[in-house]
Structure 1
Amino acid sequence: MEVVYQTGGNRVVVNPALLVIACDPRALGPVMEFTPQERALLSSLRNFTFYTTCLRVYPRKAQDRVVILAPDIVESQSGLVQGYRNETAKQWGITAANDATTNVVTTYQMVGIDGASDPGTLAAQRKAFLDNPPSWWPFQPGRYEIVEVKENQNGAIRPAVNPLLTPYFNQFPSGALDGGAPWKWLDIQGAHDTVYVHASTCFESVLHCWSYLNILLDVKPALLSTPKDAAIVVIGAGVSGLLFAQRFIDLGYTDVTLLESTNRFAGKTHSLQVPDQIGISIAELGTCYLSPAYDDMVQSLSKYIVGNARVAVAHGSQRGIVVGSPPNETVMDFNYYGLMIACQYLGYGWPCSKVDQDLAYADLFLAAANYVRLRTEIFGTVDGAMPISRPVGDPYGVFSKTFAQFLDDNMMGALKGYLMYAYQVQGYGDLDKIPAYYGLVWVMPDMAWPFGASSGVTAWQKGWEDVWDQMVKKCTMNIKLNTNVVSIRR
């Protein structure tokens, strides 16, 4: 194995015992020869694009929401502004946001697989929205500033990225899933002394990168037989690269080097520390939320979250869903939106009587219980990023059906209103288009309940970037920024 890279004006040649690909493998095409099986997997991957912007805005009316999302725009994946998160209200509360002269907000735009994702087009769409916003935008039209702040990563101070344009949610189409693509990745792990840990091997979220690493080391224990003083090269210092390096450093490996092409580590994590009317508000442009499913991971990484508390984000009525057509849109509570969709799906109409609502809640409870049962049956476990072994055949159509079809066909269609928020608006695709497998991967059992505390989400008080900064410092990671990989020979 030979890896050649350039950093700081120097050309370095290293012969690692283990090569870890933690960046999008497709980016290495010009410098790395892939095997036919690797090429086949990479050629079938596709992705969405996310565009987030942190703005300083001026309220024009009293607010009662921390987050507002428009499902119809989310579904279109056309790059239009589909909603926002009020970072001031998230950090300090809605009352404080209403009392402030300005608020800090983050807007979301998402583009589908074949959509126009160039930054100029997306910036123009954002400007058109802000200059002539819909009624659900509670801030003054045409009055805003794009926030400019600096970030401090491990003592290095540089301008923070804003807006953020990033590829998002690498995924396999239905045919590739049916052909076992995720398990083919798992099968070839370690071949040619190469390991792939980028999110494309499993799923986009931090939780799944961490969970996949657990699966990988369980399924491929030979990886841990690498001598503790042998050179390990990790290409990419994003979330998956940091998690891999942390695990191996904690296990006693002493020669782990991360090569990062940009001038910062942490990948899609961008936690802007924005001076606000009240104090410093954290605006997450990338990695953002946690759910109860993250609890085990949080416990495992506890020494890297010192002083960084989990805080509630937009529980219950603080999450608003836009319904209706312009110019007659209204904003509903998330809970009532989910109930409305359930009542309409069950034939009760909307509005409906309290008796019918109670019947809908009973059906939702049964549907959630059925979801947990089926997911456990298919995955063979209550949690986990993916089944360790490929499910036999196509159980319940998880590869061939969309997530919406899967829910309908298994008497769980009443959940779609709630799952639209839990899945669709997180950027993981339209319920009517995405394979059911990916819905099942993301919506773990404790996320399936549409009511109660577990239906809410949390965020880090100091942001996700603080987690990675503590990890890099405490593990004394050797990260080489602004590095260009010249060649990889295996």
Structure 2
Amino acid sequence: MEVTYLTGGKQLTVDPALLVIACDPRTLGPVMSFTPQERWLLGSLRNFTFYTTCLRVRPRREQDRTVILAPDLVEPQTGLVQGYRNETAKQWGLPAANGAATNVVTTYQMVGIGGASDPAGLAAQRTRFLDDPPWWWPFEPGVHEIVQVDEDQNGALRPAVNPLLTPYFNQFPATALADGAPWAWLDIQGENDTVYVHASTCFESVLHCWSYLNMLLAAKPALLEGDKSKPIVVIGAGVSGLLVAQRFLGAGFTDVRLLERTNRYAGKTHSLQVPDQNATTIAELGTCYLSSAYDDMVQALAEFTAGNCRVPVAHGPGRGIVARVPPDMREEVMTFGDYGLMVACRRLGLTWPCTDAGRDAAYAALVVAVGIYLALRTEIFRSLDGVMPPSRPTRDPYRIFSTTFQQFLDAHDMGVLTGYLVYAYQVQGYGDLDKIPAYYGLVWITPDMAWPFGSTSGVTAWAKGWEDVWDQMVEKCGMNIQLDTQVLGIRR
């Protein structure tokens, strides 16, 4: 094998023992020849587009929510501003945010498959929103500033990206899922001395990249064997690239090279350090939340979180959902819990606001639905974790590839969970419950996430941001990352 690349004004060629593709493989089309199987997989992939902006705004009334999301604006995925997170409130609490002259917030916009995702158009939609915002936007109309700060990656100071426009959630359509596309990736791992670990092989989140890597190395342990002095070339120094490099370095390989085409590592992780409240507020434009499903991963990566800690983000009433509420169907901002309960009551034919008896009946139905979900997911995936099953579910008796997540829920008496899953799945950017194949819903919604009550229904964030985790990993592992590097050719 030969990999030729240009870095620091020098053209180099290396013969690696293993090539690890940790970037979107589709971007390598001009320089790399793919097998027919690889071409089929790459040609089948589709993705959404995410656009986030960190703003400084002025409160115009007292706030009682840290996060507000509008599911009706998420569903069409046309780039409308679908909600925001108040970073000042996340970091310092709502009382501090309400007492401040300005707040730091992050707005979210999402574009669906094939939609218009040019940055100028999305910026224009954001400006229209800010100049004439909906009633639930608690900040002064037309008064905003796009935050500009520098980021420091191991001593290299450069302007931080803001806004962030990024491909999001690579996915296969139902036909490719039914043909076994995710497992075809797994089958070809290691062929032609090539491994694929980009999020397109699994799901999207940090957790899934980490879990997939564990599954891959457990299934093919020979990848970590052989001559430890021979080069390992990793193309892409995003999250999956850093995670795989850490594993190879930990296994004793001495020449692991990460080739990154941009001027920074960490991929979709952008933890802006914004002056705020006479201190620093972390605004996450990309990688952001953790749930209880991340606990094992956090423990495994504990050496890279020194001085960092997980902090609650909008637990309980701090999470707001914009919804039309009976009986007059006016829009209100509801708590996450009330929204989920209202949807459950309506699906059960109960009135809203519900009576005590109605609430008890809805909670009982929710507990039953969670039990059904846990049993079905365990049967289909043969595990309770968030990684895809190591082999394709045979015969697809529950039609998880050909039906939508909503159809799957309804077909198995779990429709009462819809309201909670709109928050846990749909508004996180992973697709409309009515459109996304059930397979993807099952991957993301682990049993503890399906439980709508108690601490597991909340999310956390890193006090110092996700970027601090990757900074520590790069430094402590002594990673060799070559930025601003152009791959010129790959011959396998």
Q: Same fold (TM over 0.5)?
A: yes
Report what 2:374 is aligned to: 372
Q: Does 1:333 align with 2:335?
A: yes
Secondary structure in 2 aligned to 1:312?
Answer: strand
Measured after TM superposition, the shift of residue 349 of structure 1 is: 2.9
Q: Does 1:349 align with 2:351?
A: yes
Does the aligned pair in 2 maintain the 1:88–1:105 contact within 8 Å?
A: yes
Measured after TM superposition, the shift of residue 328 of structure 1 is: 4.9
Measured after TM superposition, the shift of residue 384 of structure 1 is: 3.8
Report what 1:241 is aligned to: 241
Q: What is the one-letter code of the residue matched to 2:151?
A: E
Q: 2:469 aligns with which of 462, 467, 470?
A: 467
CA distance in 2, matches of 1:73, 1:437: 24
Does the aligned pair in 2 maintain the 1:19–1:232 contact within 8 Å?
A: yes
CA distance in 2, matches of 1:328, 1:480: 55
Q: What is the one-letter code of the residue matched to 1:196?
A: Y
Ranges in structure 2 where 5+ consecutive residues have no aligned partner: none
Report what 2:183 is aligned to: 183
Percent identity, aligned pairs only, is 73
Secondary structure in 2 aligned to 1:287?
Answer: coil
CA distance in 2, matches of 1:252, 1:318: 46
Q: What is the one-letter code of the residue matched to 1:463?
A: G
Ranges in structure 1 where 5+ consecutive residues have no aligned partner: none
Superposed, which structure 2 residues align to 1:101-140 within 5 Å?
101-140=101-140
Q: 1:412 aligns with which of 411, 414, 418?
A: 414
- TM-score, normalising length: structure 1: 0.99
Report what 1:254 is aligned to: 254
Q: What is the one-letter code of the residue matched to 2:288?
A: C
CA distance in 2, matches of 1:219, 1:47: 27
Does the aligned pair in 1 maintain the 2:263–2:483 contact within 8 Å?
A: yes
Measured after TM superposition, the shift of residue 312 of structure 1 is: 0.2
Q: What is the one-letter code of the residue matched to 2:376?
A: L
Q: Does 1:152 align with 2:152?
A: yes
- TM-score, normalising length: structure 2: 0.98
Report what 2:170 is aligned to: 170
Does the aligned pair in 1 maintain the 2:63–2:98 contact within 8 Å?
A: yes
Q: Deviations over 1:362-410 (max 9, x none)?
A: 1001111111111111001111410001100113111111000000001
CA distance in 2, matches of 1:384, 1:53: 29
Q: What is the one-letter code of the residue matched to 1:225?
A: E
Q: Deviations over 1:331-369 (max 9, x none)?
A: 011100000000001111322211011100010011111
Q: Does 1:399 align with 2:394?
A: no
Report what 1:477 is aligned to: 479
Q: What is the one-letter code of the residue matched to 1:199?
A: A
Q: Deviations over 1:264-298 (max 9, x none)?
A: 00000000000012421000000000000000000
- Runs of 4 or more, structure 1, over 3 Å off, are none
Measured after TM superposition, the shift of residue 169 of structure 1 is: 0.2
Q: What is the one-letter code of the residue matched to 1:193?
A: D
Q: Does 1:316 align with 2:316?
A: yes
Please tell me the root mean square deviation across aligned C-alpha atoms, in Å. Answer: 1.1
Report what 2:87 is aligned to: 87
Superposed, which structure 2 residues align to 1:198-237 within 5 Å?
198-237=198-237
Report what 1:434 is aligned to: 436
Matched length: 490
Q: What is the one-letter code of the residue matched to 1:382?
A: L
Secondary structure in 2 aligned to 1:158?
Answer: strand
Q: Deviations over 1:120-144 (max 9, x none)?
A: 1100000000000000000000000
Does the aligned pair in 1 maintain the 2:386–2:445 contact within 8 Å?
A: no
Does the aligned pair in 1 maintain the 2:386–2:444 contact within 8 Å?
A: no
Does the aligned pair in 2 maintain the 1:257–1:478 contact within 8 Å?
A: yes
Secondary structure in 2 aligned to 1:76?
Answer: coil
Q: Does 1:388 align with 2:390?
A: yes
Report what 2:460 is aligned to: 458
Measured after TM superposition, the shift of residue 329 of structure 1 is: 2.6
Q: What is the one-letter code of the residue matched to 1:431?
A: L
